[in-house]
Amino acid sequence: MSEKRSNFPLPLSSVTGPVTRKPVERAPIATPQTATQNARSNSQGAATRAPVQPAPGPAGPAKSQVQPQTQTALPRSDLMATEAPRRAMAQRVARQGVKDPQVLSALEMVPRHLFLEPAMSAQAYADISLPIGHNQTISQPYIVARMIELLRGRGHPLRRVLEIGTGCGYQAAVLSCVAQEVYSIERIKPLHELAKANLRPLRIANLRLQYGDGMLGLPQVAPFDAIILAAAGLEVPRALLEQMAIGARLVAPLGAHVQHLQRIIRTGTSEWTSETLEACHFVPLRPGTA
């Protein structure tokens, strides 16, 4: 076994100490408003859609990996207090056009305020991206849900999923509700540490975090059924395309000033199809580590 193997995967469930969140250094930044306008325009005519229903029956083997009510070290009162705003947020995202009930119930389940500094927790259930330090942001709930919905498609099983750009760990937690195994890579060490601290009380057994350059993927774990990028490059790194299983899907924001979501499907050993979807706004994908 290589040295890398012995350090990775890092099972979050094995880290059970008290959560001591170090204050994160914050620089004033303009937060990207990922696809808000677009979501609004997508939502036209959706006002009559039924409110969020919890997914009927298990979503597959990964369902119920996040069970904040019963298995975590979170104060129950904290979870109960956010139940209504969490539900309202999921219902809003449904009105904006996200239809997948399992994605919506995952969004409703994950306590987003835990991924933010306490000073910002009042805004945790608004549909906005917010600063998490190091010039990075937690993604807007709508775009998190939309991208995961695009990964799932109709009946596309999410067994092994790779996320590039863990940030504070929020999207990774949502993914862990709808996929069997989730691997997430972050290139900024203090954010990787922050994500670990944020996720620890949730005790998510099917999520592994890795510090490194996500542009290289995780060849030791590949192939993946789905890959999601939370940062925008000009093109999808070749290594990630190569690490997709046949039939796998990849969703990524592409572009510099003007960005669009791109969905790529691997249709053969050396064949991929790609479609350009809605406009969005993400922080940049950068090479190397920091």
Residues that bind ligand SAH (CB under 6 A): 136-139, 164-168, 170-171, 185-188, 191, 213-215, 230-231, 283, 285-287
259 close to 280: Cβ distance less than 8 angstroms: yes
Q: Which helix (H) or strand (E) holds 265?
A: strand 259-268
Closer CB to ligand SAH, residue 1 or residue 28?
28
Q: Which helix (H) or strand (E) holds 130?
A: strand 130-133
Least spacing, CB of residue 251 vs ligand SAH, in Å:
12
Q: Which two tokens stand for residue 218?
A: 């995780």
Is the preceding omega at residue 32 within 30 degrees of 0, hence cis?
A: no
Query: Hunting for tokens 């998510």 — which residue is that?
Result: 204
Least spacing, CB of residue 161 vs ligand SAH, in Å:
12
For the beta carbon of residue 6, count every other beta carbon within 10 angstroms.
7
**Cα distance between residue 275 and residue 254, in whole Å:** 11
**Cα distance between residue 241 and residue 243, in whole Å:** 5
Q: Is 139 a catalytic residue?
A: yes
Selecting among 43, 105, 129, 139, the annotated active-site residue is: 139
Provide the CA 125 distance to its chain's centre, in angstroms. 15
**Cα distance between residue 225 and residue 248, in whole Å:** 4
Active site residues: 139
